[in-house]
Amino acid sequence: MSDRDDTRPDQRPPARERPPDPAGTRPRHDPASLLPSRSLGETGEVVDSDAIEDAEAAEAPEAPEAPPGAGRDPDLLPQRRPQGGAIGPVAAPASPFAPRFHFLFGALAAIGAAALTALLLVLLAGGATQHTQPQWSRWQPSSGGVEGARQIASRIGSEYRFTNGKQLVNVQASGLSIEGVPLSVALREDQAQGGDIKVFDDDGLIFRFCGLGPNCAIASGKPSTARHLLLRREALELSLYSFHYLDGVDQIVVFMPPPKGQKPSQALFFRRGDVDAELERPLRASLVPRAPTTRDVRLSPDIPLVDRITGRKIFNFSLTQANTDNRGFIVLDPLSAQKKAPQATTGSGSQR
């Protein structure tokens, strides 16, 4: 056998005494150094090294705190820190003025809420003011059309009375027709105005004043200009109520009561445009709320307005049948200067 064969594994020299091993079979550490160390106590028994180290650690003074990174495995990469070198979020130091700012912000919020509330109240009040119009009259009809006209006739007719308290005339209302025959208004102008004939086919109403005498004449009292003026005031008030509250009414004819022994021949004719100014303002601005009587009618403050409006709206009327269809005309002729003065007393009278 060769010398290599005679060599036994347990007779090899220690690893530290071996020559360098180019083949890479030489271990990096001595295997004996990897075994746990043992020491003998006084009794000669083997004592674990960990117990000795624990006792020494208990008696040894406390070691200072290791700096960051001490004891970390050298084979591990160091812990990555946030950019800028900050280890974690840092709380901002509290400002000594923070309580003041909190108070100011609270005060501003309260002022803003109060201002918003005030603005809403102003807007609501403004909206209510905008949509709320002053009342035109102290009373108004509950219906429209002819039924509303009848309510107006009953209400206004009952307010005009003699000085003894009796009602002046009964007032009847109807559409612009007589016995089912529709009527148009044919107005003949005065000769000084050209003498033309104007026909008005607009929707309208007829009010009839009836004194309950023959042919609707006023049964009692003597004719007077005061009573005629009071009837004209009543006709104006009926027209104002009708134009204001009844839709579609553009013209109104009021038949006045005749003198005793005669037939009705006088009428007042109103169109909406004649009283536009009076319709734009409350009724009390044109006529006093309480109707005067035949005794004090001339003392009423609204008589100048009544005389001015109605004085040019008095006509003599007649009825005529159309030739081509089932239709009629209310023909209105103006009063001449000679006839106006005596006819002013027609159908009027007073009761003392």
Domains of the chain, by residue range, sit at: 145-343
The strand pairing partners of 302, in sequence order, are none
Chain position carrying tokens 């009692």: 220
pLDDT(84) > 60 = no
Q: How many CA atoms lie within 13 A of 186 on its CB side?
A: 15
pLDDT(17) > 80 = no
322 or 298, greater pLDDT: 298
pLDDT(316) > 60 = yes
Task: Kindly give, in sequence order, each residue whose CB lies less than 8 Å from that of residue 185, ignoring residues fewer than 6 positions away.
Answer: 176, 199, 200, 204, 251, 253, 269, 329, 330, 332
Helix axes 145-157, 225-245, angle to 10 degrees: 150
pLDDT(254) > 50 = yes
What integer pLDDT is reported at residue 326 of this predicted model? 85
Q: Per-residue pLDDT averaged across 198-206, rounded?
A: 95
Q: Per-residue pLDDT averaged across 54-70, rounded?
A: 51
Do you know the residue count of the chain?
352
136 within 8 A of 278, measured Cβ to Cβ: no
CA end-to-end span of the chain = 180
What integer pLDDT is reported at residue 341 of this predicted model? 39
pLDDT in tens, 135-151: 999 999 999 999 999 99
pLDDT in tens, 264-304: 999 999 999 999 999 999 999 999 999 999 999 999 999 99
